[in-house]
Amino acid sequence: MGEIKSTLDIIMEKTKNLTVTEEEKRAFKEQETAGKVKGLAQRYADGGFPRQRLVEELADLEREVGDKTMVRYLLVVEAMGRIQLGQDNGPFLSILEVIPGADAAAAREILEDFEDRVVQQRDAIREKLKFRLREMGISGSAVIPNLEADQEWKQRLEELDREMKQKLYKTIEA
């Protein structure tokens, strides 16, 4: 009777002649580091530890990975990617503040500018909806249009969020 091979044995047999290039090794390392950075950002944002511990964990990760620039870049990208209009972005802006070279003030300014634009757009669309309702004979002080159900509003909010993220990412590249 033949020997039954484990899945690991089969994989090892099929891959024994494969080699990994330096570029592939770097990509694997970056992918692994990105996962660790994501976890670090999530734990901090969830209130898992104070700001000082974030600084310490960041330093530990930089030592572990041996590439301070990559770790910091991935953390900036992660923090900026989690910033959303209309949400509490304090933890993500706080992450940017502890990373040397990250422009947290510029990110905060961009976010505030877009939050103002959201308010203006929301008010304009709300007035447009009220006008439509008045045309249908529906009016009064108790009439409040449901913006969350309006497709135009949803689309505009997504556009603003996309524009904001593009602007945020440009600050990383600058």
The mean per-residue pLDDT over the stretch 74-87 comes to 92
Q: Are 95 and 75 in contact (CB under 8 A)?
A: yes
For residue 52, pLDDT over 50 is answered with: yes
The residue type of 112 is E
CB 76 within 8 A of CB 96: yes
Residue 20 DSSP label = -
Q: How confident is the model at residue 1 (pLDDT cuts 50, 70, 90)?
A: very low
Q: Average pLDDT for residues 155-171, to the nearest whole number? A: 93
* Domain spans in the chain, listed from the N-terminal domain onward: 19-102, 103-174
DSSP string, 72-103: HHHHHHHHHHH--TTS--HHHHHHHHHSTT--
Q: Check residues 16 and 114 and name the one with the higher pLDDT.
A: 114
Q: Residue 4 corresponds to which tokens in the numbers above?
A: 């039954």
Per-residue model confidence as pLDDT tens digits over 121-154: 999 999 999 999 999 999 888 888 999 999 999 9
Block residue for tokens 């900026």: 80
Cα–Cα dist 43/57, whole Å: 11
- Using 50, 70 and 90 to split pLDDT, how confident is the model at 82? very high
**Per-residue model confidence as pLDDT tens digits over 4-51:** 767 777 777 777 777 778 888 888 889 999 999 999 999 999 998 999
